[in-house]
Structure 1
Amino acid sequence: MGAAEHRRRLVSLAYPVYFELLAGVTAGIINMAWVARLGGGAVAAVAVATNVENLLLGVILVAGSGTTVLVARARGAEDSAAIRSAVRGGWVLWALVTPLVAIGGYLCREPLAHLVLGGSGGSGSGSGSGDSLPLATAYFSIALPGIAVFFATNVVDGILKGAGDTRTPMKLAILANGLILGLDPLFILRFDLGVRGAAIATVLGRTVALICGFVVLHRNGVLRQAAQAAPNRAGSLSADARRTAETGLPMSADFVARMVGALALVAIVARIGVSEVAAYGIATKAMYVATMAFYAIRQAASIRTAQLLGAGRDERRAIGRQVLLLAGSLGLTALLTLLAAAPWIMWAFGSEGEVAEAGALYLRCLGPYLTLLACFIALGGVFEGSGGSPALARITACGVALQLALAYSLSGSGLPGICLAMALAMALQCAAIARMYRRTEHPTATDCDDRGVRISVTEPDSLSPDNRFA
């Protein structure tokens, strides 16, 4: 298959994922914009609750991401029974994980609120900051049981993406955000429910979108055929769940490692000064516009690679080249944009004075890191789709640890030192993944898929449906 065709397929899969990811970030911004009328305490409560939800996303990624890869692999093989097993595995994991998080989180909502707010929520003055703890607890009392809907939506999205449909998850995310935008003022202000109203609006908006997602799943021809697959070709529920967990766990670990590293980096930046912390926080939000594009390409590469391997075609090298071309172009575009427009970006986020100055400097120094990050994140999709995600997760974990150590050492140079630490650590991660990629140029006689099943990569015709999904 030609390079142009690979590139077209990747773009077709990636752009809906990009808008879906941006829509997910927007939900938290919508809530914060409406609760801002209730005072600083309410804003703090919703802000920390949103951060907790982002971290919990890493939990369900085990099911969502694992299901995407396995469904894509089975679809490429045109194996309906394997699709059925992959879908069942995702839902079994959802059923196992969700009660622990939803019920456990609800029962521990007050200690959790105290943990994430620290000492800032229990006392204070002005702007309602002393009310943050009870407000966060109130938000958690609705949002944590409602996490079941959020988790189910992630599994639905994973199934649809594995089946090659990335547009429906985008439409569902936009629908949910549109409903949240309309329901927020109704529940927060009209019904005078405050932060509880924001949580209720979020859960209701996502519930409607989830129902629509189930309708789409039911109408999908590939999935309907898989649901009718012969039962004697489907494994046990525990085996299905184990395969999904083995596939998705490294991807989840990769995500959680980056989230934890980002939170730890805030503490290091805090050693420099208050203005720098504020500038770092604003600049990080501005970076989402670029980084979400990198992750969109990653998901597209994962789906495409898994589909072709399922069909017995090892085209990792060709896909990787197109991924690097797309991601590298986006990274360089981000670099040039930040160099030219950094002050205006900070102004657009409402910053001024020392914060705006520090943020503009940080954004201008961030370009090399973003370019390297684009290549690493996007190329990682090739390995996620071909069973290399455990090695990828190890590279990420080591890279995050190195980044924090370097950032601590270079923090004396201010935010430019932080950027240098991030770029150096990412350069080493890129070197490691480049080594993995070069190994695909001379594949061995056998390789292992994402579940440890040995498959041929030099003789694609030997990949019969039976041994692909043994």
Structure 2
Amino acid sequence: MNAHRKQLIALAHPVYLSLLASVASGVINTVWVSRLGGGAVAAVAVATNTENVLLGVALVFASGTTVLVAHGRGARDPAAVRAAVRGGWALCGLVTPVVAAGGFLLRGQLAGLVLGGHDGGALGLATAYFAISLPGTAVFFAQQLVDGILKGTGDTRTPMRLALLANGLILVCDPVLIHLHGVRGAAASTVLCRTVALTAGLRVLRRNALLRTAAAAPPAGPARAALQRTLATGLPMSADFTVRQSGALVLVAIVARLGVTAVAAYAIAYKIMYVATMAFYAVRQAAAIHTAHTRGTGQDERRGIGRQAVLVSGTLGLAASALFAVTAPWIMAAFGAGGAVAHQGALFLRCVGPYLLLMACFIALGGVFEGSGGAPALLRVTVLGTAVQLPLAHALCGLGLPGVCLALALSMAVQCAAVAVLLRRLGQRARARASLVRAG
């Protein structure tokens, strides 16, 4: 097996399980809270969607730290690793109080903004949930950073174990705390169980050999400079995620033109697709870590890593497309869909294959850009793709959900073509530098 491919798979599969476990906490909460009625379910759904937005904020310091730690590890530079960790904690410490305290103080307004059309009962429940979950953002952010540091050291298994620990505890604590305290109990369960996982993660950080060596190294410049490097590295990654999330929300509004049945089918099918798309993002994270590490050693292996990332992720995309095409009716039935909703959802899953395959390739290549400092260029491609996707979806939604699938595939084809051009330019620059070195 190709060495790059072997390393990508080794890094990616724990990341994938970790991502699945993270989604599981929202599912677990929803299952238990559903016994309290529709208002409680709406409150938890709002909180889950809000956390997705906050994840984009966390990526600024978590992903930025991952890339910088991996680069320092490749360069065998303990001072650079120490600076990366300091920058991550400094940025996290700057952002967390603003989000946690500001969110708590504005919890009622936030709930009203998202649930403006719901009755007062749902609004009150969402506000009560936010009263605990938003201060708990401090735990969520710290855990994201701990995971990011560990991934940078090449350890993707510990974040997976921590995610499994947190969600295993949530599975046990949810029924008890929800029975005692309702919606507040659901929020408290999530925060408490994540706190246990965070405590375990901090202990692992103290035992990590690379980080212990880095802690003993002399500081590589002031903390402010380290913070700025983390911000410059992580901000484009966060913006990329935010643009995609925003595009997905607007796409739901476009699908809504097709009616309630289409929205329900699309919502279920899109959640089913997470099983595949999380695998692509796992490969992306692995590619970012491996690329940053190899560049730290002084090697430029972007083309080789990119090819293997596309091979691994593309294979997963092709397998997912085939699986969805064959089993779509049974998958929709397993999620409780029936009648017209099941029919339209199955149609969407059978038409979405080309988009999934193209997305798998693009997402995987994104990791190479992130790991090599090319995230700003990748962000421009994402903005371009979203700008193409939404008008196309609006124009083609007259064809129903197959038209939406076509718009998704065409916009992703544009993004793949743009990334191919960028990669070709990178290759030309690398060959030009090599020629200059040989001439010198």
TM range (shorter): over 0.9
Q: Aligned residue for 1:76?
A: 74
- AA of the residue aligned to 2:412: M
The reply on whether 1:313 has 2:299 as its aligned counterpart is yes
In structure 1, stretches of 5+ residues that fail to align are 123-130, 448-455, 463-470
CA distance in 2, matches of 1:436, 1:293: 24
Q: Aligned residue for 2:124?
A: 134
Deviation of 1:86 after TM superposition, in Å, equals 0.2
CA distance in 2, matches of 1:325, 1:436: 19
- AA of the residue aligned to 2:428: H
Instruction: Give percent identity, aligned residues only.
Output: 64
The reply on whether 1:59 has 2:47 as its aligned counterpart is no
CA distance in 2, matches of 1:273, 1:427: 28
Q: Aligned residue for 2:148?
A: 158
Query: TM-score normalized by structure 1?
Result: 0.91
CA distance in 1, matches of 2:239, 2:82: 25
Task: Pick one of 186, 189, 202 that aligns with 1:201.
Answer: 189
More helix by share: 2
Give SS of 1:443's match: helix
CA distance in 1, matches of 2:174, 2:325: 37
> How many residues matched?
439
TM alignment of 1:103-118, pairs within 5 A: 103-118=101-116
Deviation of 1:339 after TM superposition, in Å, equals 1.0
CA gap 1:429/1:356 in 2 versus in 1, 3 angstroms: same
CA gap 1:273/1:458 in 2 versus in 1, 3 angstroms: farther
CA distance in 1, matches of 2:324, 2:102: 43
TM alignment of 1:7-406, pairs within 5 A: 7-122=5-120, 131-189=121-179, 191=180, 193-231=181-219, 234-406=220-392
Give SS of 2:429's match: coil
Give SS of 1:164's match: coil
CA shift digits 1:304-331 (9 cap, x unpaired): 0000000000011111111111111111
Deviation of 1:15 after TM superposition, in Å, equals 0.2
Compare 410-419 and 435-444 and name the one that shifted more: 435-444
Q: Aligned residue for 1:126?
A: none
CA shift digits 1:249-299 (9 cap, x unpaired): 000000001111111111110000100000011011100100000000000
Compare 306-315 and 401-410 and name the one that shifted more: 401-410
Give SS of 1:199's match: helix
CA distance in 2, matches of 1:99, 1:458: 49
Deviation of 1:121 after TM superposition, in Å, equals 3.7
RMSD: 1.5
Deviation of 1:439 after TM superposition, in Å, equals 2.2
Deviation of 1:118 after TM superposition, in Å, equals 2.3
CA gap 1:295/1:458 in 2 versus in 1, 3 angstroms: farther
Q: Is the 8 A contact 1:175 1:209 kept in 2?
A: yes
Give SS of 1:119's match: coil
Which 4+ stretches in 1 moved above 3 angstroms? 444-447, 456-460
CA gap 1:336/1:242 in 2 versus in 1, 3 angstroms: same
CA gap 1:214/1:458 in 2 versus in 1, 3 angstroms: farther
CA distance in 1, matches of 2:21, 2:430: 42
CA distance in 2, matches of 1:301, 1:163: 14
CA shift digits 1:107-150 (9 cap, x unpaired): 0000100111121243xxxxxxxx11000000000000000000
- AA of the residue aligned to 1:230: P
- AA of the residue aligned to 2:14: P
- AA of the residue aligned to 2:203: V
CA gap 1:439/1:44 in 2 versus in 1, 3 angstroms: same
- AA of the residue aligned to 2:210: V
CA distance in 1, matches of 2:33, 2:308: 43
Q: Aligned residue for 1:128?
A: none
